[in-house]
Amino acid sequence: MTDEPVPVAVPRPVSLYNPANVLTAARIVLVPVFVAFVVVSGMVDSGWRILACLTFCVASATDFADGWIARRYELVTSFGKVADPIADKALTGSALVLLSAYDRLSWWVTGLILVREWGVTALRFWVIRYGVIPASRGGKLKTALQIAAIAWFLWPVPEPFDLVGTVLMVAALIVTVVTGVDYVLQALRLRRRAQRV
């Protein structure tokens, strides 16, 4: 009785030009368009503010869509892994900076959120050789709250309903800080566990 070689499944090659990557690239392209609309509006012209808000929402929607498509249809690529978080940070980061520049949001709020966002990204790279820190439900809630708060600030909402934006941003800030601390603890646990092995 001879041992026949067991066929090994060859990983299916994934094209760089797939729907998930196209959506990620579209989000990157929409960032300067969004910035231009905000600058032209000066955060006073209602028409341009609405255009800026719609552009931001469309770009944000591609963030949810590209990840789902990549996982659902096994279209994960190295480009997507790198470009997706960069696109996310560029979109939300530019929105927060612009809101602060036009005195719609305190600079310390923008600073705190940006430090957390880039800090978690750096943290993931720091422990990548020990393992991957997956996105938590809290992280997804944080993203949803940030998007909702930014959109509310961008849209020319009349008083007193504009205060809803402040409530959303406070909630986003709290979840941002809490999940940031959680990611730090996860990274430390992951590193300690790997060093024991």
Q: How far apart are CA 122 and CA 138, in angstroms?
A: 19
Per the prediction, the chain carries an average pLDDT of 86
Burial track 122-137 (b if 16+ CB lie within 10 A, e otherwise): ebbeebeebeebeeee
* Side-chain half-sphere CA neighbours of 34 within 13 A: 29
**130-139, 149-158, 160-169: range with lowest mean pLDDT:** 130-139
Q: Which of 137, 146, 161, 141 is nearest to 56 (CA)?
A: 146
Q: How far apart are CA 111 and CA 139, in angstroms?
A: 18
- Tell me: the pLDDT tens digits for 73-110? 777 777 777 778 888 889 999 999 999 999 999 999 99
- Whether residue 14 has pLDDT greater than 90: no
The number of residues in the chain equals 197
With 0-12 / 13-18 / 19 or more C-beta atoms within 10 angstroms meaning exposed / middle / buried, residue 113 is buried
* pLDDT tier, 112 (very low <50, low <70, confident <90, very high otherwise): very high
Predicted TM-score (pTM) of this structure: 0.85
| Percent of the chain topping pLDDT 90 | 51
With 0-12 / 13-18 / 19 or more C-beta atoms within 10 angstroms meaning exposed / middle / buried, residue 177 is middle
- Tell me: the pLDDT tens digits for 47-65? 999 999 999 999 999 988 8
